[in-house]
Structure 1
Amino acid sequence: MDTVDLNLLPALDVLLAERSVTRAARRLGLSASAMSRTLARLRAATGDPLLVQAGRSLVATPYAEALADRVRGLAREARAVLSPAAAPLDLAALERSFTLRANEGFLARFAGPLTARVTQAAPRARLCFAPKPDKDAGPLREGPVDLEIGVAGVAAPEARAQLLFRDGFVGAARAGHPLLDGPITAERYAACRHVVASRRGAAAGPVDHALAERGLSRRVVAVVPGFPDALRIAGQTDLVALVPGSCFDGEDPLTRGLRRFDLPVRTPPIAVSAIWHPRLDADPGHRWLRELVMAVCRPPAAGAATA
């Protein structure tokens, strides 16, 4: 490969990250003039200016912006390939903070058991549970989030995903609710007043599409951010909640006084997965965390796996 200088790859990675010849030179231990010469070689190799002057700073060209993520991944892979093999993971000495992003329903069901397992196996490790206001893939790509729990989507097509369990929607109403007095038909269900959980504030969902096919619609009178909020309201009113079946697994105080019932219409199953960026595939600590999450989630959710 005498026509390609792979030493340019980490230099390009740092230049695109810093957007400054001076700062890039400092990070790589080079002089500013040597970094300028490297930038000139990169421009010649790529046929693109890459970074251009804008006032007192440098801005990336569209081509450089498009390259940034690929270059970052290639540089990491190159460093990993040319580094000594990692030593066996010593959980007793592991001092590391792992950030998991998940919704309130997952935290209510699994945060306690997962924390207990981590504390027992790696007493110096720390779990940081972050809220999940949206499906933005930025935190996974950029590093603030190590593992996301949820439904795999297209926001980050390069992300890895491993199925934790399958879930399905069920209805929830307070004990003694009139709906529970007889057969729960689609007509009786639709005639109730409803509370809906939606991060985006959407009142309609899959159950509404299924009802519409029968010429029915439900009256949604409250929209809340998360499933625990919906359960609280259902427990204190005559509103009917729509929640994943896993909300009723275990001894969650939120479900006391509530009755679960099967929906009178079919809704698509929910595939809940652990999602991470491929840069962490081979990381021993991250692999251990993934396996632990799998162990904690799968056995308790076995009853909902066929939903």
Structure 2
Amino acid sequence: MNDVDLNLLVALDVLLAEGSVTGAARRLGLSSSAMSRTLTRLRTATGDPLLVRAGRGLVPTPRAAELRERVHDLTREVQAVLRPHITLLDVASLERTFTIRVSEAFLEFLFGAVVAAVTQAAPRICLRFAPKPDKDARPLREGPIDLEIGVLGTAAPEIRTQFLFHDKYVGVARVGHPLLGGAVVTPEGYAACNHVVASKEGGTVEPIDTVLEAVGLKRAIRVVVPGYPDAMRIARQSDLVALVPGSCVGNGMAGGSAAMSGLASFELPISLPEFKISAMWHPRLDADPAHRWLRDTVMSVCRAAYPRR
């Protein structure tokens, strides 16, 4: 659009409103000679004189009179498009469905407080939770997913992220398990137990196995299940020990006490690094007021339960 100069539209709007080169120049902060040159350009662009001499003043041509209201409306529309859009969000009356992709563990143990906060402030919003079988960024890019919560891992560089809280792995066993009978859980005692492992892919090697192997120990894995809630149910009903994120045992979030009924958690006898739980979304939703409110709500709930250390 090299042939289109939107500044000419603004100048024409002011010229037709003022009916004077001098008045238009004053409003636009230009010199009279610069405004005269602009009028010459407008005459060339439109093929019409637009303003012609009548005594000491100028009068519009029929074409200019025809264009006056149209040009004024166009100018306002262009200015509205080319300035930041400010929307006062009425959360209480907001009607919208947000699709959030989360892990099974988050859905079962952590989403209660988020749902309560969202529905209390915005009762007409619908939250749709979708499973998270992988870290594919296409649903975020293409629109089916509005927000994702979990460990970073997407290969899409444009995805926006916001840290929510730190999590860490803990051990879980049934109440009264022999492992919990001593003063402390030792690496040898932990490794000697039978274990249930949560793995979507069905694998059995985890970071803890590398650490145990370094000190000459190895877990005896007897059961592999798709998710952490499954591992906790099996641990509750057997002597198998499960390894789960600390968020699964409550750690301040609503629902933790019910999930841990019949179970006890314990600190692992070996050191594993913490991991970050983050919110992820596509930049096309960055400035959307409703989506921004949802992100802020999720963030405030998670940070209240997991204060930054």
Give TM-score, length-normalised by structure 1: 0.71
RMSD of Structure 2 on Structure 1 (CA): 2.1
Stretch of structure 1 that moved more, 281-290 or 180-189? 180-189
Does 1:177 pair with 2:177?
A: yes
Alpha-carbon deviations, 1:257-294, whole Å to 9, x = none?
Answer: 11111111111211000011111111101000000001
Please state how far the C-alpha of 1:100 moved relative to its aligned partner.
0.4
Question: Hey, what does 1:244 align to over in structure 2?
Answer: 245
Structure 1 equivalent of residue 117 of structure 2: 117
| TM-aligned CA deviation for residue 130 of structure 1 | 0.5
Q: CA deviation at 1:301?
A: 2.3
| Counterpart residue number, 1:77 | none
Partner of 2:283: 278
- The CA distance in 2 between the partners of 1:148 and 1:132, in whole Å, is 9
CA distance in 1, matches of 2:93, 2:247: 34
Deviations 1:226-249 (A, max 9, x none): 111111000000000000111122
Contact 1:194–1:222 (CA under 8 A) maintained in structure 2? yes
Cα distance in 2 for partners of 1:295, 1:84 equals 26
Q: Is the contact made by 1:167 and 1:269 (CA closer than 8 Å) also made in structure 2? A: yes
Q: Secondary structure at the match of 1:220?
A: strand
- Report matched runs for 1:56-75 at 5 Å: none
Residues 1:267 and 2:268 are matched in the alignment: no
In our comparison, the structure showing a higher alpha carbon Rg is: 2
Q: Distance in 1 between matches of 2:185 and 2:118?
A: 43
Give the Cα–Cα distance (whole angstroms) in 2 for the partners of residues 222 and 282 of structure 1: 46
Q: Which residue of 2 aligns with 1:201?
A: 202
Alignment partner, residue 141 of structure 2: 141
Q: Per-residue CA shift, 1:21-65, capped at 9, x if unaligned?
A: xxxxxxxxxxxxxxxxxxxxxxxxxxxxxxxxxxxxxxxxxxxxx
CA spacing shift, 1:252–1:155, aligned 2, 3 Å: farther
In structure 1, the residue matched to 2:294 is 289
C-alpha distance 86-170 of structure 1, shift in aligned 2 (>3 A): same
Q: Which residue of 1 aligns with 2:159?
A: 159
Cα deviation for residue 84 of structure 1 reads 6.8
What are the equivalent positions in structure 2 for 1:22-41 lying under 5 Å apart?
Answer: none
Mapped to 2, the partners of 1:287 and 1:123 lie a distance apart of: 17
Which range moves more in the overlay, 293-302 or 234-243? 293-302
**1:106 counterpart residue number:** 106
User: Counterpart in 2 of 1:231?
Assistant: 232
Q: Given residue 210 of structure 1, which amino acid in structure 2 is its aligned partner?
A: V
Offset of residue 83 of structure 1? 7.3
| Conserved 8 A contact 2:99-2:127 | yes
| Alignment gaps of 5+ in structure 2 | 5-79
Q: Distance in 2 between matches of 1:93 and 1:181?
A: 54
Q: Deviations over 1:211-236 (max 9, x none)?
A: 01111110111111111111100000
Measured in 2, the distance between the counterparts of 1:175 and 1:139 equals 41
C-alpha separation in 2, matches of 1:3 and 1:219: 74
Q: Which amino acid aligns with 1:221?
A: R
Q: Quick one: which amino acid aligns to residue 102 of structure 2? A: A
Q: What stretches of structure 1 of length at least 5 have no aligned partner?
A: 5-79
Counterpart CA distance in 2 for 1:247 and 1:169 is 9
* Contact map agreement 2:110 2:247 (CA 8 A) in 1: no
2:168 maps to a residue whose letter is: G
8 A Cα contact 2:164 2:299, kept in partner: yes
CA distance in 2, matches of 1:278, 1:213: 43
TM (normalized to structure 2)? 0.70
8 Å CA contact retained: 2:162, 2:278: yes
Q: How much does 1:116 deviate?
A: 1.8
Structure 1 letter corresponding to 2:208 = V
For residue 113 of structure 1, what is the amino acid of its counterpart? A
Match of 1:253 in 2: 258
